[in-house]
Amino acid sequence: MNELEYIRSLAQQQHQWQTPVHQGSLLMGPGDDCAVIRKCGSRVQLLSMDTLVEAVHFDRCFHPPELLGRKVISVNVSDIAAMGGIPTLVLLSAGLPPGFDANWVLAFNQGLLEACQHYNCSLIGGDTVASPGGFSFTITILGEMEESAVLYRDRAREGDTVFVSGFLGLSAGGLALLKAGFSAREPQFAELISQHLNPTARVQLGAALANSGLVHAMMDSSDGLATDLAHICSASQLGAQILAEQLPISDNLREAARLCRADPLDWALRGGEDFELIFTAPPQAAAALRELGNDCSVQIHAIGVMDRGEGLRLLEQDGVACCETFLTHQGYDHFRRVEEN
Amino acid sequence: MNELEYIRSLAQQQHQWQTPVHQGSLLMGPGDDCAVIRKCGSRVQLLSMDTLVEAVHFDRCFHPPELLGRKVISVNVSDIAAMGGIPTLVLLSAGLPPGFDANWVLAFNQGLLEACQHYNCSLIGGDTVASPGGFSFTITILGEMEESAVLYRDRAREGDTVFVSGFLGLSAGGLALLKAGFSAREPQFAELISQHLNPTARVQLGAALANSGLVHAMMDSSDGLATDLAHICSASQLGAQILAEQLPISDNLREAARLCRADPLDWALRGGEDFELIFTAPPQAAAALRELGNDCSVQIHAIGVMDRGEGLRLLEQDGVACCETFLTHQGYDHFRRVEEN
């Protein structure tokens, strides 16, 4: 059993049970970036939970504690942004290994509290436990917004254009550079490395997109475009075709990939941890959405289209040759070419 | 730096920062069993978070997975009960070790979902991560109640009687029996062992106490009477004297202590994980509180008094001799005799 199978089995087991009375206020349970519950009048509350485990999600060898503290918050805030909400409250459960370094922890806390301040949310509680397997940080984040503005991932429509904010693959490129011994002191790589160590959640953009009324479905690119867009596809019971040449891949990412002997397209599709927003809207909304991105100092890129085809497909054009690659719904591990002409 | 120092340093660091705007709705932040925020009208929302780590909080050698799943929920529900609230929603972050046993996990989930059903709350989301150091389960629980009924730990008054529900030390006794190779099949020990493996949160009693208007301060006995009552003392800026002979110690606990060569008084004071309610109220409320306990099928015991003395003191009477033991505010590690006559 892997993690995905665990989640599925838990969901299946849950179906046996009667619905508790409080579920009347539950607008979205498991299966989106946040759970959504009615709060008061037209307001809803958003809830999400994310754990970051040492040696799985972060490497203390090159992750400064202040930036890790910030990242733990940003990763969670991004789930709120992915629904279009505003973060409000945070709970932290910290797992501390035996004999942990007090200075490291003070710096981590400093970064975490700075990030709470940056996103205008408050740490209101949590837990502290001993952790035999290294540091482990679980955050529960709450957010708020108008019920009518919430953007779910299951509402994409056939013919919608697929958009993405910012650039893809930066975090994966930054991680590869760090592992190869590069640092943020090298100017052309500062952005990539910073995107890995200290990403920013797109709160302002997410809220603007939600309030625009132009967007049908949205989520954040935490697991990589291929996996995340596949979630929009399966939730919306649609397929999608994305165009390789439209993917926002920066020159610095290409240069990093050359140095690290990696494929920048692979980073863009499967890198994860970009914390950009992936969203779908009618093609005619493109100009207005780009304008809205400008207001938030973020470029918006159209990268594909939602259709009735099966799953997620990548179209690569090379002169007259055209190649369609099938990206499975699991996305992360599997890469299978199904058609070439 | 230990866990307590970590919590204190985090609280100190937090004071540097400006108060986010959302704190207007925050009635209680860190420092009680739950955070309390305004929800709608006179209703408040309660939030709490607890992590249980393998080899720290549970031992899979003798803890059946179904019961552990139940306990993970009950431990968290107890924090809601300790404020007088009703649990509503649950988020779970599960840390799964490499090559984990799928059957164990399915049984754990079954117990967890059964407990959600029992307490009439819904699992609405969470996270699943790889965990290098064994299983780890973090729950965030939400609850609800009327703002005017919330019972905090910092409202005890001088002269209040200290009450406790049920019996103390059962979980510690049960754990000692399990470690000594006893099982729940031995009738006189079934209750102790069950209290450790599968405790029940006092939701009905907690809500009845909160709604009675008789109680001034309340919390649950998750860390042991000495530590938990010391929290009420320090939060309320009072001391307390408890009477050893009034502590509810069952005959079965004394028998278990004899077999395990342990001190039943020590289990009652410092055992923890009883998930009973500790509360303070005026002495004249005692009869009404006992009646209210009867309605919930729980015995209520008066065990001491809140006073202006320093810290928490245990009075032991042995014929004409009287001995007062000072239990420090940290409670857990330290035991110091200050007076004997």
Residue A3 is assigned to a structural domain of this protein: no
At residue B336, the pLDDT reads: 34
Q: What is the largest CA-CA distance in chain A?
A: 62
Categorize the per-residue pLDDT at A17 as very low, low, confident or very high, splitting at 50, 70 and 90: confident
Q: Same domain for B220 and B278?
A: yes
Asked if A102 and B1 come within 8 Å (Cβ–Cβ), the reply is yes
Distance from C-alpha of A124 to C-alpha of B33, rounded to nearest angstrom: 12
Cross-strand bridge partners of residue B258: none
Categorize the per-residue pLDDT at A337 as very low, low, confident or very high, splitting at 50, 70 and 90: very low
Residue A196: domain span: 161-340
More confident residue, B263 or A12: B263
Question: And the tokens for B189?
Answer: 């020990």
Q: Same domain for B98 and B65?
A: yes
Instruction: Decide the pairing of beta strands A312-318 and A239-243.
Output: parallel
Query: Which A residues, 84 through 123, put their C-beta within 8 Å of a C-beta on chain B?
Result: 88-89, 91-96, 100, 102, 105-106, 109-110, 113-114, 116-117, 120-123
> What does the CA dihedral B130, B136, B142, B147 come to, rounded to 10 degrees?
-140
Distance from C-alpha of A140 to C-alpha of B139, rounded to nearest angstrom: 9
Number of Cβ atoms within 10 Å of the Cβ of B202? 25
Asked if A47 and B120 come within 8 Å (Cβ–Cβ), the reply is no
A311 neighbors A326 (Cβ within 8 angstroms)? yes
Residue B8 is assigned to a structural domain of this protein: no
Sheet holding A300-307, edge to edge: A217-220, A277-281, A161-165, A300-307, A239-243, A312-318, A321-327, A336-340
CATH number where B280 lies: 3.90.650.10
Residue A154 is assigned to a structural domain of this protein: no
At residue B84, the pLDDT reads: 98
B125 neighbors A34 (Cβ within 8 angstroms)? yes
Q: Same domain for A204 and A75?
A: no
Q: Which residues contact A201 (CB under 8 A, 6 or more apart)?
A: A74, A75, A77, A78, A80, A81, A119, A220, A275
Q: Measured between beta carbons, which residues in chain B are less than 8 angstroms from residue A1?
A: 100, 102, 105
Distance from C-alpha of A184 to C-alpha of A193, rounded to nearest angstrom: 6
B155 neighbors B302 (Cβ within 8 angstroms)? no
Categorize the per-residue pLDDT at A335 as very low, low, confident or very high, splitting at 50, 70 and 90: very low
Is the minimum CB–CB distance between B60 and chain A shorter than 8 Å?
no
Choosing from A149, A174, A191, the residue where a domain stops is: A149
Distance from C-alpha of A37 to C-alpha of A47, rounded to nearest angstrom: 8
pLDDT of B58-69, one tens digit each? 999 999 999 999
Residue B9 is assigned to a structural domain of this protein: no
Residue A231 is assigned to a structural domain of this protein: yes
Q: Same domain for A136 and A168?
A: no
Question: And the tokens for B232?
Answer: 């009420």
At residue A24, the pLDDT reads: 72
Query: Which A residues, 20 through 39, put their C-beta within 8 Å of a C-beta on chain B?
Result: 20-23, 26, 29-30, 34-35, 37, 39
Q: Same domain for A103 and A169?
A: no
Interface probe with A: pick from B6, B19, B75, most Cβ of A within 10 Å: B6
Choosing from A149, A171, A191, the residue where a domain stops is: A149
* Overall number of domains in chain B: 2
Task: Work out the burial of residue A319: count CB atoms within 10 Å of its CB; fewer than 13 is exposed, 13-18 middle, 19 or more buried.
Answer: exposed
- Chain B residue whose CA is closest to A33: B125
Is the pLDDT at A23 greater than 70, yes or no? Answer: no
* DSSP-based three-state secondary structure for B92: strand
Interface probe with B: pick from A1, A2, A5, A222, most Cβ of B within 10 Å: A1
- Kindly list the averaged pLDDT for each block of 10 residues, start to end, along chain B of length 341: 82 77 80 92 96 95 96 98 97 94 94 95 92 94 97 97 97 95 87 96 98 98 93 96 95 95 94 95 98 97 96 85 70 33 31
Is the pLDDT at A43 greater than 60, yes or no? Answer: yes
Q: Same domain for B227 and B139?
A: no
At residue A306, the pLDDT reads: 98
Query: Minimal CA–CA distance to B280: which of B238, B309, B328?
Result: B238
Q: Same domain for B232 and B319?
A: yes
Residue A86 is assigned to a structural domain of this protein: yes
Is the pLDDT at A106 greater than 90, yes or no? Answer: yes
Q: Which of A48, A114, A122 minimises the CB distance to B125? A: A48
Question: Which DSSP string do the residues of B314-339 spell out, in sequence order?
Answer: EEEEETTEEEEEEEPSS-SS--EEEE
Cα A149 from chain centre? 19
Query: Minimal CA–CA distance to A140: which of A88, A96, A105?
Result: A88
Q: Same domain for B261 and B184?
A: yes
A51: closest CA of chain B, how far (Å):
7
- Chain B residue whose CA is closest to A113: B14
Q: Same domain for A276 and A249?
A: yes
A7 neighbors B128 (Cβ within 8 angstroms)? yes
Q: Same domain for A169 and A284?
A: yes
Choosing from A149, A181, A212, the residue where a domain stops is: A149
Residue range A31-56: mean pLDDT, rounded = 94
CATH number where B40 lies: 3.30.1330.10
Residue A308 is assigned to a structural domain of this protein: yes
Residue A54 is assigned to a structural domain of this protein: yes
Q: What is the pTM assigned to this prediction?
A: 0.92
A17: closest CA of chain B, how far (Å):
7
Q: Same domain for A94 and A174?
A: no
Distance from C-alpha of A133 to C-alpha of B131, rounded to nearest angstrom: 7
The letter for the amino acid at B80 is: I
Query: Which B residues, 222 through 281, put their C-beta within 8 Å of a C-beta on chain A?
Result: none
Distance from C-alpha of A246 to C-alpha of A300, rounded to nearest angstrom: 11
Is the minimum CB–CB distance between B295 and chain A shorter than 8 Å?
no
A130: closest CA of chain B, how far (Å):
7
pLDDT of A46-81, one tens digit each? 999 999 999 999 999 999 999 999 999 999 999 999
A248: closest CA of chain B, how far (Å):
29
Q: How many interface pairs between A and B have CB atoms less than 8 angstroms apart?
A: 229
- Mean pLDDT across chain B, nearest whole number? 91
Residue range A222-234: mean pLDDT, rounded = 94
Q: Measured between beta carbons, which residues in chain B are less than 8 angstroms from residue A56?
A: 129-132
Categorize the per-residue pLDDT at A219 as very low, low, confident or very high, splitting at 50, 70 and 90: very high
Q: Same domain for A100 and A191?
A: no
Is the minimum CB–CB distance between B57 and chain A shorter than 8 Å?
yes
